[in-house]
């Protein structure tokens, strides 16, 4: 609000024409200035005072008090004193008017409010100009009190609200209150210029530049001629923020034309010229700044821009002089922040880092949230002071304001890469990946990223190193440094790609020898490190002689290289040369008596030999050192020592509880320092299991296993807990998985755990099998032999106790007992006393002898039971054989009967075929003529056809049937075997004649009962009628039994309106003799069908059929 705060007091004081006291101008020969009349109290006379110039303030104040003048006269005189620059009289008159003025007149409330607002506006102006913070705060407090008193008189007066709104705006933290008051006034009077400008100022500060520009334009339209240059200046700022550079420049030019001495317009024009980055424009910008400096040499904005200009001219003396003057000539903290920044970077570039740090820090304190350059410089100073935490905090602020700043992201990635905090390591990966994505050719970023990824993602780290190598070879065109070759080789080594690792180690040594001429000391150290890594590679390849040779070569040149002593000791330890390993570790301690790794390895040697006391002392010594007071490995080792003591029975329960508490405390101490330490969590689970909290211990161990699947102890502990909870199946599965994953079935201790689980689950056979495999691995292990004997004894005992056990199993049990007795006897005499009690083996041998003495009874019982079972099996086998023979005989009888029946049917079939052939033979004379055949074919379309004997029975059928229509099934009988050939021919002739004469309409069936047939839709010819004739021929055996007579069954259609009936029709011989009728049509039906296959016509039945 620099464009408007200068007019705040004017807005509050100059309120336009008002009926204050009587002011007059006397006319005459000698013209006088304006005067004011003060009425005398109780009289009609007045005192006339000249307003230009005003008399002494004390005299006027005395007159006003004595005469008890109305308040409006006090206001008029105070205003004139203010205009003449007599501010003290102005304040005294207004302060006295609050108590001594006469307010007994109409409209005095408005004058009271005006007096309070005017005095408050004056205090606001003093506060704006005051540099002392305490004094400024006092002025604001007085203004607040006065505005609050005015609120109680007339709260919603527009001018009062405007003054209070500008006061809130100037305070800075009451912008919402100011906006509410401006909106209230603007709603009542939309052309109120102060309200419009106030709203525009608030919008600009809220970065709503479009709204601010629209309001400034509105103010300009309302008062185009009287609008001050500050409004044009504000419009130029809005245009600049919106990116309209040309319009911004025009607005600044217009403001400069309205006010040639407007310093803000000159500075704005100079900045626009500088931003064009052209030589002539920069020259013009400098000239504009020089003109502004000549107008106002104390303007901090001008001084700061000139200091910035001279910084790039490398005239650091002028930079410091101008920036210091700017700092002391303003109370605006943002301006002071700019001045301090100019001072800081001038000292920074000159190498005076202490002064630079001081001014960067001060600038960061004064700066606005958007001014982040001081934070960047301050972060650089913290890096120089070896303070990465504060440096990272500064750069995080820069990154928050500029999320895509490349330099900031890269610096933060580098800072976090060197941190030990896992979260910051993750941030380093994120930042460095962002840098490599934006600038894929930044080789430094790729190397930093590879270094970070070495701890968590070796393949990704290797890929990053390879990318850096490609950039160096293809784009930078330089040789690969030996450090990068060494790091790549280390990555290959950790991936167990030893050939590639060896290749890069050799390249690193070669490059170090080539670069040794440039820096002998540095590259010699690189060679030593690479040689040590090469020895580690030979050690991993089981080339122990080469590794030992390289270690000793390094020690000849560098006798204080402690790591070589430690590796030589570890190689001796792996060969189970404990004393030689101890000597190498002692050599390392001669070089450095407080070396934690040497003491740790010596402590581990004691733990391998189960020397818990000496081991405890070694780890406690590590914890007593200042630098390793919280060493996690030492704390874990001590916790494990106390935990190991719990694996042996402790008669004193208090002592056992103390050991548990000590182990638990040590594990908790490790977790406090490192919450993600899985070994400490695993130890806590083990202690809880020892205390009996099995469920809690299982939950903790399961969580540890979810976190990592590469620690075998976690798998074994979880399996132990399953055993304690009687979940033997889960325990067995866990033991077997651990054996497969970590030990390839070659760890006898874990196999003992598995056998124990099988034993508790009652699976003694599987238990014995596992122990047998373990003994193949360690044949001289007496503990395994004892357990095998114990399992054999228990397995044999279980077999002997079973009443249903057979002789074979009892014999096997006796053999198992004899073997177990031999094992126990051997162990009782030659067993290892340190691993188990020999008397226990002797007692178990006696148990085996007792069981063997009882085995005779079990063997006799089993032999008797076996004989009984054998006899019962023989009897069962004989019964099964009898049943099988009986079944075979029955099957043979059934097969014979089926064969005879088949032969009989075949004979009947042959007889039927012969009879059919004789029926079909007829002479050529008996054939019907051509005309008869034509009439016969026509007759089949004329109506229904009745077969032989059907004409006689047709009336009976019509009278007795209720069905609509039916199919006629004809059953022909076999001919008489003694019939002559002439009789057969006569039958055929009679059948043909009857078929020819039966085509008349008189042969149609008529319904005699039931409902009349419902006519069909559309036309229907006689061809639509159909009769299906089916003949059932009886066998020759049936006809022979009945003699020459044959039964023919005719079946009509079935249904709701049909009836089934059978008719017995005489044979042709009987018909000729008794009735003289022609033979039945059924006898010739086969011939008819052969000659006329389309004889059947559609059925005459109704729709339902």
Note the pLDDT of residue 104: 83
Q: What pLDDT, on a 0 to 100 scale, did the predictor assign at position 960?
A: 40
Given pLDDT bands bounded at 50, 70 and 90, which one contains residue 366?
Answer: very high
Structure token digits, residue 77: 């005189």
* Most confident segment among 113-117, 349-353, 647-651: 349-353
Helices and strands, counts by H and E, the chain: 49, 5
pLDDT more than 70, % of the chain: 80
CA distance 95 to 93: 6
- pLDDT band of residue 1020 (cuts 50, 70, 90) is very low
Confidence check: pLDDT of 1082 > 70: no
* CA 340 – CA 352 distance, rounded (Å): 15
Q: What is the pLDDT averaged over residues 443-447?
A: 93
Q: Residue 1089: is its pLDDT beyond 80? A: no
Residue 1094 scores a pLDDT above 90: no
Predicted local distance difference test score (pLDDT) of residue 954:
39
Task: Give the pLDDT score at 757.
Answer: 94
> Quick one: pLDDT at residue 993?
59
Indicate whether 997 pLDDT > 50: no
Report pLDDT for 329. 87
What is the structure's pLDDT at 872?
A: 85
What average pLDDT score do residues 567-588 get? 93
CA distance 1080 to 1069: 11
pLDDT attached to residue 332? 83
Q: What is the DSSP string of 154-175?
A: -TT-HHHHHHHHHHHHHHSS-H
Q: Model confidence over 589-623: pLDDT tens digits?
A: 999 999 999 999 999 999 988 898 999 999 999 99
Q: Cα-flanking dihedrals φ and ψ of residue 46, to 5°?
A: -135, 160
Give the pLDDT of residue 988.
Answer: 60
d(CA 255, CA 262): 7
Which residue do the tokens 């003057």 mark?
Answer: 325
Give the pLDDT of residue 989: 65
**Which residues sit opposite 47 in a β-bridge?**
38
Q: Indicate whether 952 pLDDT > 70.
A: no
Q: What is the mean pLDDT of residues 80-97?
A: 88
Question: pLDDT tens, 452-469?
Answer: 999 889 999 999 999 999
pLDDT number for residue 654: 84
- Considering Cα of 630, then 633, then 636, then 638, what sign does the dihedral take? negative
- The DSSP symbol for 5 reads G
CA-CA distance, 742 to 137, in Å (whole number)? 76
Spatial separation of the C-alpha atoms in residues 837 and 828, rounded to whole Å: 8
Mean pLDDT of 726-737: 93
Q: For 869-922, what is each residue's pLDDT tens digit?
A: 888 888 888 899 999 999 999 999 999 999 999 999 999 999 999 888 888 765
Looking at the DSSP assignment, which residues form a beta bridge with residue 102? 70
> What stretch of H or E contains 1034?
none
Closest CA to 596 of 580, 605, 581, 585: 585
What does each C-alpha distance from 922 to 167, 976, 1091 come to in angstroms? 142, 16, 14
What pLDDT does residue 924 have?
A: 45
Residue-wise pLDDT for 294-319, tens only, equals 998 889 999 999 999 999 989 999 99
What's residue 458's pLDDT?
93
- pLDDT tens across 40-67, in order? 877 778 888 877 778 888 888 888 888 8
Could you give the count of Cα atoms lying within 13 Å of 498 in the half-sphere of its Cβ? 11
Task: Name the residue with higher pLDDT: 1022 or 335.
Answer: 335
**Interval 379-394 mean pLDDT:** 94
In the predicted model, what is the mean pLDDT of residues 731-749? 91
81-87 average pLDDT score: 87
Where do the DSSP E strands lie in 6-141? Answer: 23-25, 34-39, 46-50
The mean pLDDT value of the chain amounts to: 79
| Crossing angle between the packed helical segments 422-438 and 443-453, to the nearest 10 degrees | 150
Do the beta carbons of residue 432 and residue 448 sit within 8 Å? yes
Most confident of 136-140, 715-719, 998-1002, 1093-1097: 715-719
* Helices assigned H by DSSP within 350-405: 353-366, 373-384, 388-401
User: Which residues lie closer than 8 Å to 641 by C-beta, 6 or more apart?
Assistant: 607, 612, 615, 616, 619
**pLDDT on residue 848:** 87
Is residue 169 within 8 Å of 175, Cβ to Cβ? yes
pLDDT tens, position by position, 162-194: 888 888 888 777 888 888 888 888 888 888 888
- pLDDT at residue 735 greater than cutoff 90: yes
State residue 835's pLDDT score.
Answer: 77
Long-range interactions of 841-844: CB distance < 8 A, separation 24+: 841/786, 844/789, 844/790, 844/793, 844/820
pLDDT, average across residues 387-402: 93
């Amino acid at each position: 609000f620099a464009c408007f705060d200068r007019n705040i007091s004017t807005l509050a004081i100059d309120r336009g024409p008002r009926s204050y006291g009587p002011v007059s101008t006397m006319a005459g020969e000698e013209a006088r200035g304006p005067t004011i009349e003060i009425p005398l109290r109780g009289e009609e006379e007045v005192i006339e005072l000249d307003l230009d110039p005003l008399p002494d303030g004390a005299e006027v104040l005395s007159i006003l008090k004595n005469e008890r003048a109305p308040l409006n006269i006090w206001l008029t005189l105070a205003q004139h004193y203010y205009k003449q620059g007599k501010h003290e009289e102005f304040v005294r008159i207004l302060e006295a008017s609050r108590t001594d003025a006469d307010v007994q007149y109409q409209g005095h409330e408005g004058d009271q409010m005006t007096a309070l607002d005017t005095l408050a506006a004056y205090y606001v102006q003093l506060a704006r100009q005051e540099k002392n913070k305490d004094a400024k705060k006092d002025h604001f407090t007085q203004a607040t009190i006065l505005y609050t008193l005015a609120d109680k008189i007339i709260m919603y007066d527009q001018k009062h609200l405007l003054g209070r709104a500008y006061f809130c705006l100037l305070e800075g933290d009451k912008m919402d209150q100011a906006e509410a008051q401006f909106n209230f006034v603007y709603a009542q009077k939309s052309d109120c210029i102060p309200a419009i400008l106030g709203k525009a100022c608030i919008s600009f500060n809220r970065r709503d530049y479009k709204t601010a520009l629209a309001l400034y334009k509105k103010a300009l339209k309302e008062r185009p001629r009287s609008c001050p240059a500050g409004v044009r200046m504000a419009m130029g700022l809005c245009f600049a923020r919106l990116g309209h550079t040309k319009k911004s420049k025009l607005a600044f030019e217009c403001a400069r034309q309205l006010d040639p001495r407007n310093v803000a317009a000159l500075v704005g024009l100079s900045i626009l010229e500088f931003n064009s980055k052209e030589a002539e424009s920069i020259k013009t910008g400098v000239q504009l700044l020089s003109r502004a400096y000549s107008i106002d040499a104390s303007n901090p904005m001008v001084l700061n821009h000139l200091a910035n200009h001279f910084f790039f001219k490398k005239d650091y003396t002028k930079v410091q002089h101008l920036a210091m003057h700017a700092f002391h000539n303003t109370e605006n903290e943002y301006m002071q922040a700019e001045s301090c920044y100019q001072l800081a970077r001038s000292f920074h570039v000159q190498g005076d880092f202490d002064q630079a740090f001081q001014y960067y820090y001060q600038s960061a304190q004064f700066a606005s949230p958007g001014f982040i350059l001081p934070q960047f410089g301050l972060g650089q100073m913290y890096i120089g002071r070896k303070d990465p935490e504060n440096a990272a905090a500064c750069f995080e602020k820069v990154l928050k304001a500029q999320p895509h700043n490349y330099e900031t992201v890269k610096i933060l990635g580098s800072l976090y890469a060197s941190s030990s905090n896992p979260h910051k390591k993750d941030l380093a990966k994120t930042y460095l990946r962002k840098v490599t994505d934006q600038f894929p050719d930044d080789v430094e970023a790729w190397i930093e990223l590879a270094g970070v990824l070495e701890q968590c993602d070796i393949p990704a780290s290797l890929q990053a190193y390879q990318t850096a190598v490609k950039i160096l070879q293809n784009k930078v065109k330089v040789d690969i440094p030996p450090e990068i070759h060494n790091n790549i080789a280390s990555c290959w080594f950790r991936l167990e790609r030893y050939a590639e690792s060896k290749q890069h180690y050799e390249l690193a040594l070669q490059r170090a020898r080539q670069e040794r001429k440039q820096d002998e000391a540095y590259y010699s150290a690189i060679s030593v490190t690479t040689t040590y890594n090469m020895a580690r590679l030979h050690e991993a390849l089981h080339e122990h002689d080469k590794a030992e040779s390289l270690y000793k070569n390094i020690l000849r040149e560098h006798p204080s290289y402690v790591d070589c002593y430690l590796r030589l000791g570890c190689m001796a330890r792996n060969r189970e040369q404990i004393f030689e390993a101890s000597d190498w570790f002692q050599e390392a301690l001669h070089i450095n008596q407080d070396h934690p790794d040497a003491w740790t390895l010596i402590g581990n040697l004691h733990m391998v030999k189960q020397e818990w006391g000496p081991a405890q002392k070694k780890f406690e010594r590590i914890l007593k050192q200042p630098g390793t007071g919280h060493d996690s490995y030492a704390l874990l080792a001590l916790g494990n020592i106390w935990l190991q003591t719990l694996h042996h029975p402790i008669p004193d329960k208090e002592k056992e509880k103390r050991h548990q508490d000590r182990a638990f405390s040590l594990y908790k101490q490790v977790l406090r320092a490192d919450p993600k330490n899985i070994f400490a969590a695993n130890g806590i689970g083990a202690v809880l299991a020892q205390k009996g909290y099995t469920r809690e211990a299982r939950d903790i161990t399961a969580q540890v296993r979810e976190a990592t699947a590469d620690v075998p102890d976690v798998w074994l502990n979880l399996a132990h807990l399953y055993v304690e909870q009687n979940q033997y199946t889960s325990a067995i599965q866990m033991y077997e998985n651990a054996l497969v994953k970590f030990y390839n079935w070659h760890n006898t201790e874990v196999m003992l755990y598995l056998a124990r689980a099988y034993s508790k689950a009652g699976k003694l056979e599987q238990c014995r099998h596992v122990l047998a495999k373990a003994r193949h691995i360690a044949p001289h292990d007496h503990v395994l032999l004892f357990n095998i004997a114990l399992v054999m004894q228990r397995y044999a005992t279980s077999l002997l106790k079973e009443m249903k056990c057979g002789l074979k199993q009892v014999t096997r049990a006796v053999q198992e007992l004899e073997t177990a007795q031999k094992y126990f006897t051997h162990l009782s005499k030659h067993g290892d006393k340190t691993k188990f009690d020999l008397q226990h083996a002797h007692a178990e041998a006696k148990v085996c002898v007792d069981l063997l003495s009882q085995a005779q009874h079990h063997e006799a019982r089993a032999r008797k039971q076996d004989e009984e079972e054998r006899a019962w099996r023989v009897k069962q086998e004989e019964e099964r054989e009898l049943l099988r023979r009986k079944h075979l005989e029955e099957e043979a009888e059934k097969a014979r009967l089926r064969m005879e029946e088949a032969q009989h049917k075949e004979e009947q079939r042959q007889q039927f075929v012969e009879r059919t052939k004789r029926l079909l033979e007829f002479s050529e004379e008996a054939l019907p003529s051509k005309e008869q055949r034509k009439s016969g074919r026509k007759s089949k379309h004329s109506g229904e056809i009745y077969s032989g004997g059907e004409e006689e029975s047709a009336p009976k059928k019509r009278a007795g049937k209720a069905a609509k229509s039916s199919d006629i099934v004809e059953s022909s009988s076999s001919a008489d075997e003694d019939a002559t050939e002439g009789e057969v021919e006569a039958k055929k002739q009679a059948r043909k004649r009857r078929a020819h004469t039966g085509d008349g309409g008189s042969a149609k069936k008529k319904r005699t009962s039931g409902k009349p047939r419902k006519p069909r839709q559309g036309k229907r010819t006689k061809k639509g009628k159909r009769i299906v004739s089916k003949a059932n021929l009886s066998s020759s055996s049936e006809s022979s039994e009945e003699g020459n007579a044959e039964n023919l069954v005719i079946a009509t259609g079935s249904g709701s309106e049909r009836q089934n009936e059978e008719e017995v029709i005489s044979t042709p011989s009987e018909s000729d003799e008794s009735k003289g009728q022609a033979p039945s049509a059924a006898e010739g039906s086969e011939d008819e069908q052969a000659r006329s296959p389309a004889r059947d016509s559609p059925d005459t039945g109704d729709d339902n059929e």
